[in-house]
Amino acid sequence: MIPESFVQELLARIDIVDVVERYVPLRKAGANYSACCPFHSEKTPSFTVSPSKQFYHCFGCGAHGSAIGFLMQHAGIGFIEAIEELASSAGLQVPHEERNRAERAKKAPLTEVMARAMHFYREQLKATPKAVDYLKNRGLTGEIAAKFALGYAPDGWQGLQQVFPDYNDPALVECGLVIVNEQGRRYDRFRDRVMFPILDQRGNVIGFGGRVIGQGEPKYLNSPETPLFEKGRDL
Ligand SMILES: [Zn+2]
């Protein structure tokens, strides 16, 4: 968990104009900056960035938020990842609150969630000829796919709803399987990807790596850091 005080400190230290400008060329327009919106297609600029209020707003599509929200929306990453990236660009170290015993005890259901997701992805692979063909073309047999529990995350925004009827369950977000955007909408992190489960020493699924089948970015997408999965320790 990242303390809220750190989020506030980070927002105070960075300038949203600098952050947006890394991705979108901005033009000064009075007190604000403007550009053609990166989130919808347009010919005349309706996207503005306010240095005094430290937010962006699009009068065309309604996109709106802080520097953190911009990075999440523009790079398609989660809240914690956006914080990490902004902190490193500002030279700040992200403090992670000590996990107490209650939080550690919550780990068990999370591994169940991950196991259920893995089974779902495996079933989806069997039912998706283009994903099977992709693996075959890379020299991976059905035997290998079974041995490593390879799977396929279907194309679509909420594929996991098929196995998690309670799609709003916070555990899905905590596991890094579902992303919540600034508008509160939830969607699957992994879509139209071949899925490689990452296991711990006891054989629990603690994360996934997903590779796009066709064109698309990023080519490889890994689970974010979660209570189950700490990249520095587990990879
Ligand atoms: Zn827009």
For position 48, what pLDDT does the model report? 97
For position 96, what pLDDT does the model report? 74
Give 57 Cα–ligand 1 centroid separation in angstroms. 8
What is the rounded CA–CA span in Å between residue 102 and residue 160? Answer: 27
What is the rounded CA–CA span in Å between residue 195 and residue 219? Answer: 12
For position 216, what pLDDT does the model report? 79
Mean pLDDT of the chain: 89
| Length in residues, the chain | 235
Give 70 Cα–ligand 1 centroid separation in angstroms. 12
Give 181 Cα–ligand 1 centroid separation in angstroms. 15
Beta-carbon contacts of 52 under 8 Å, excluding residues fewer than 6 positions away, are: 31
Give 48 Cα–ligand 1 centroid separation in angstroms. 9
Domain architecture of the chain: domains with CATH = 4-89 (3.90.580.10), 101-234 (3.90.980.10)
Give 67 Cα–ligand 1 centroid separation in angstroms. 16
Q: Quick one: angle between helices 129-137 and 107-126, nearest 10? A: 90
pLDDT digits (tens, 9 = 90+) for 136-184: 999 998 888 988 899 999 999 999 999 998 898 889 999 999 999 888 8
Beta-carbon contacts of 135 under 8 Å, excluding residues fewer than 6 positions away, are: 125, 145, 150, 194
Widest CA span in the chain: 63
Give 198 Cα–ligand 1 centroid separation in angstroms. 37
For position 227, what pLDDT does the model report? 82
Query: Judging by beta carbons within 10 Å of its beta carbon (0-12, 13-18, 19+), is residue 110 exposed, middle or buried?
Result: buried
Asked whether the predicted pLDDT for residue 83 surpasses 90, the reply is yes
For position 230, what pLDDT does the model report? 78
